[in-house]
């Protein structure tokens, strides 16, 4: 039984919560899983390449006697400069931003989809995209064993999805 609210013009409006909310199409979930996996996995080789090539500038503040005497100051300032130097480097900051946006998308996915499907699918696609990213960025050869592992991962995703359809 749906309740309605009446406005001064006597036009019935559906009450909040009346009816059943429609679920997004399955294609939306599939694309969302793939985008999160892409954001997490494909950016990882770019992050690693930027971190390996990173050559931070000297920081005179770290050479002051007051900083050298204090282990806390030395560690805090060292961590601060390490983070700020990396974030200032666009080759690191851009993939990091994309990677972190994947975490936001994942948060939204977890709230609206089956948890026992979301986590394995997203983590598996992240692994698959990491392997593809290493091939793309570093020219790494995808070995036969890795290819078999990737196919087994895809088979595992298919089994997880199939098991939820039979319930």
Read off the pLDDT of residues 76-87 as tens digits, 9 standing for 90 and up. Answer: 998 999 899 988
Residue 153: which pLDDT band, with cuts at 50, 70 and 90?
very high
pTM: 0.73
Residue 37: which pLDDT band, with cuts at 50, 70 and 90?
very high
Residue 136 makes CB contacts below 8 A (sequence gap 6+) with 42, 45
Q: Are the C-beta atoms of residues 121 and 127 closer than 8 Å to each other?
A: no
Range from 13-17, 93-97, 105-109 that averages highest in pLDDT:
93-97
Residue 90: which pLDDT band, with cuts at 50, 70 and 90?
very high
Residue 18: which pLDDT band, with cuts at 50, 70 and 90?
low
Buried b (16+ CB within 10 A) or exposed e, 63-79: eeeebeeeeeeeeebee
**Given a cut of 60, is residue 14 above it in pLDDT?**
no
Measured distance CA(58)–CA(149) in Å, rounded: 44
Beta-bridged to residue 12, according to DSSP, are: 6
């Amino acid at each position: 039984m749906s309740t309605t609210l009446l406005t001064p013009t006597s036009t019935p409006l559906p009450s909040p919560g009346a009816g059943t909310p429609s679920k997004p199409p399955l294609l939306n979930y599939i694309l969302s899983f793939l985008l999160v996996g892409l954001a997490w996995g494909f950016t990882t080789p770019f992050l690693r390449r930027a971190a390996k090539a990173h050559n931070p500038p000297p920081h005179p503040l770290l050479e002051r006697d007051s900083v050298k005497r204090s282990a806390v100051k030395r560690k805090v300032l060292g961590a601060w400069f390490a983070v700020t130097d990396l974030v200032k480097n666009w080759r690191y900051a851009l993939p990091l931003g994309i990677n972190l946006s994947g975490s936001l998308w994942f948060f939204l996915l977890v709230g609206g989809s089956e948890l026992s499907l979301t986590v394995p699918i997203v983590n598996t696609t992240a692994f698959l995209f990491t392997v593809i990213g290493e091939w793309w960025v570093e020219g790494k050869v995808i070995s036969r064993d890795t290819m078999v592992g990737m196919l087994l991962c895809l088979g595992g995703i298919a089994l997880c999805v199939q098991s939820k359809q039979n319930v």
